Amino acid sequence: MAGGKASARQKMINLMYLVFIAMMAMNMSKEVLSAFGLMNEKFTVANEATDARNESFMAGLAEKVSEQPAKYQPLKGQADQIETLSNELDTYIEDLKGKMLKGIEDRSNYEAMDNTAFLDEYFFTGDALNRNGKAFVAAYEKYRDGVVEVLSGNPDMADISASVTKAFNTEEVTNKDGKKIKWLDYHYKGYPLVASLTKLTSIQSDIKTTQSEVLSSMLGSKLQSEVSLSNFEAIVVPAKTAFFSGENFQGTIILGKKDNTLSAHKVVINGTELAAEAMQAGKTILDFPAGAVGEREITGEFQFKEGDSIVKIAVNSSYAVVPKPNSATISADKMNVVYRGVDNPMTISFAGISDNNVTASAPGLKKAGKGYVMRPTSGREVTINVKGILADGKAANDQATFRIKDIPAPTGAIRGEMGLVKMQRNSLEISTISAELPGFDFDLKLNVSGFKFKVPGQPTINVSGKKLDSRAKAALRKAKRGDAVQVFDIQAKIANNPTKLKKVAPVFIELTN
């Protein structure tokens, strides 16, 4: 097929042609007929070995397609076309050989296969090709043209394409007398049966070897393409994923191979398996919340199918989350306030430093879960000092000062209403007195333990608990419609908190009946 040093098969073909020439120069001897038969046997054995090799290649290619379809499916498509063309012509020739040997009981007796009549009658009617002859040439040319068309889009296959065109040429042949003879006449008319049989087996050898060479070249081109430097790109890998002003940038440059057809069997990042849509054009797209300010880790693995096993490639990286450089910091200077006697939740972080490398300290400040709480006691101000350890081990310090304010004075309420409340007499008798902190940011539960109750014209009554007692109800019965009853000096405390509250504002009830 291709140029260069002749293979054992090509040497065998060359020898066959020499025998053809010898046959034309001498009377056909029994020994020559036997030589053709032995040559046919050698071709047959070689063809079986090539068949096995091609089948193994196709099976391996099919497995590659199941592992990496985007990469190997186009190659498999071309290989399938070549296999179909090869099988069609090979089967056609095998059927023809069966017809040639029909009726021959001892097919190992090559000396008896000296008759030229079969193909002379099968292919020709007089000097013209009959229907069978035209069908044979058409099948031959269909194979040649089909293979050339499949290979036409691959410049790496140009040599093989040219070899196929030459080896399966059906143009007229000029004989030794300088006369042009039709291709089929020149090769098959007037030859003994065993010689034509051997030549047909030789064609089958060309078909199978062509398929083998095409498949091998396809894979070789794919592998050469895979390792080409044009498939690599320079990737800058910084020593860390965030740098502070005044630092030197540090990192390395490595060459990474890009493969737009590469598709992983599975990708797991931070414990979550990515969807198939995340694998695009040989890349794995990551898209997840960056998280809070500080250093974050990316861990996981790529899984690729390789044969019957799964190959895992670990992913270990990190990145820093820093505030957006275009974001504004806006604060109300007078609102840096913490309240005495309650747990004030605090979020304390250092831009570009992970939380585990940040510490804060102040009187009344303590860690609580992922954040802090501040419960100031004495004084009017408290300063919180924050220290962060940078990636290079150096320390960064900052501080913030907060004003300390007391819990505002509660307001008395009845039925949850404050100030002047209009109410029927019987409703007041069963209503609950409470203390509220309207507009206060903390949800504090206030317990009422007693209060004073005043009806106009009646003495003030001290009540224990949070509802009117019998004495207060008796005084209430003496009140008139439109009278304003007072509930004042309400005694309230914060549940489970010893902090003393300011005086509770009274509530007034106007009787509607």
pLDDT the model gives residue 111: 83
How far, in Å, are 169, 284, 491, 503 from residue 439 at the CA level? 99, 51, 20, 17
Distance CA 343, CA 371 (A): 12
pLDDT the model gives residue 57: 85
Percentage of residues in the chain having pLDDT higher than 70: 78
Q: Strands, E, within 290-424: which ranges?
A: 294-306, 309-321, 337-339, 344-346, 358-361, 365-368, 371-374, 381-389, 395-405, 411-414, 417-418, 420-423
Whether residue 98 sits in one domain with residue 186: yes
Q: Is residue 2 part of a domain?
A: no
Whether residue 207 sits in one domain with residue 102: yes
Confidence of residue 61 (pLDDT cuts 50, 70, 90): confident
Lowest mean pLDDT among 13-27, 395-409, 499-513: 13-27
The enclosing domain of 344 has a CATH number of: 2.60.40.10
Q: Reply yes or no on whether the pLDDT at 281 is more than 60.
A: no
pLDDT the model gives residue 76: 86
Whether residue 347 sits in one domain with residue 212: no
Higher pLDDT, 384 or 1: 384
Whether residue 163 sits in one domain with residue 16: yes
pLDDT the model gives residue 3: 45
- Boundary (domain end) residue, out of 405, 429, 462: 405
pLDDT the model gives residue 25: 40
Can you say how many angstroms the Cα of residue 400 is from the centroid of all Cα atoms in its chain?
A: 46
What's the rounded mean pLDDT across residues 303-328?
66
- Boundary (domain end) residue, out of 205, 227, 249: 227
Determine the residue type at 455: V
Q: Is residue 3 part of a domain?
A: no
Lowest mean pLDDT among 117-126, 140-149, 316-325, 431-440: 316-325
Residue from 336, 337, 341, 411 nearest 375 by CA: 341
Residue from 338, 329, 402 nearest 373 by CA: 338
Whether residue 15 sits in one domain with residue 146: yes
Q: Is residue 142 part of a domain?
A: yes
Query: 372: which 2 tokens?
Result: 């802090």
Structure confidence by residue, pLDDT tens digits, 197-221: 999 999 999 999 999 988 888 776 5
Q: Reply yes or no on whether the pLDDT at 247 is more than 70.
A: no
Distance CA 275, CA 364 (A): 48
Confidence of residue 64 (pLDDT cuts 50, 70, 90): confident
Cβ–Cβ < 8 Å for 512, 422: yes
Q: Is residue 388 part of a domain?
A: yes
Q: Reply yes or no on whether the pLDDT at 354 is more than 90.
A: no
Whether residue 200 sits in one domain with residue 102: yes
Q: Is residue 328 part of a domain?
A: no
Whether residue 221 sits in one domain with residue 284: no
Whether residue 262 sits in one domain with residue 288: yes
Whether residue 157 sits in one domain with residue 302: no
Higher pLDDT, 329 or 43: 43
Q: Is residue 326 part of a domain?
A: no
**464-471: long-range pairs with CB below 8 Å, 24+:** 466/432, 466/433, 466/434, 467/430, 467/431, 467/432, 467/433, 468/428, 468/429, 468/431
pLDDT the model gives residue 254: 63
Structure confidence by residue, pLDDT tens digits, 383-441: 999 998 887 788 888 998 999 998 899 999 998 899 999 999 999 999 999 999 998 88
How far, in Å, are 429, 448, 475, 513 from residue 423 at the CA level? 10, 21, 16, 8
* Exposure on the CB side of residue 221, measured as CA atoms within 13 A: 16
- Domain limits for position 436: 411-511
How far, in Å, are 476, 486, 506 from residue 480 at the CA level? 9, 14, 21
pLDDT the model gives residue 127: 87
Lowest mean pLDDT among 111-125, 164-178, 241-255, 450-464: 241-255
What's the rounded mean pLDDT across residues 470-479?
92
Whether residue 315 sits in one domain with residue 285: yes
Higher pLDDT, 415 or 14: 415
Whether residue 455 sits in one domain with residue 400: no
In the chain, how many H helices and how many E strands? 10, 27
Distance CA 341, CA 336 (A): 17
Mean pLDDT, the chain, integer: 82
Cβ–Cβ < 8 Å for 295, 354: yes
Whether residue 122 sits in one domain with residue 97: yes
Q: Reply yes or no on whether the pLDDT at 122 is more than 80.
A: yes
Q: Reply yes or no on whether the pLDDT at 508 is more than 90.
A: yes
How far, in Å, are 334, 336, 351, 366, 373 from residue 346 at the CA level? 17, 12, 16, 10, 5
Q: Is residue 343 part of a domain?
A: yes
pLDDT the model gives residue 5: 56
Confidence of residue 225 (pLDDT cuts 50, 70, 90): very low
Determine the residue type at 466: K
pLDDT the model gives residue 396: 86
Percentage of residues in the chain having pLDDT higher than 90: 43
Token pair 């040429």 in the structure block, residue: 169
- Boundary (domain end) residue, out of 173, 193, 227: 227
Domain count, the chain: 4
Q: Is residue 327 part of a domain?
A: no
Confidence of residue 223 (pLDDT cuts 50, 70, 90): very low
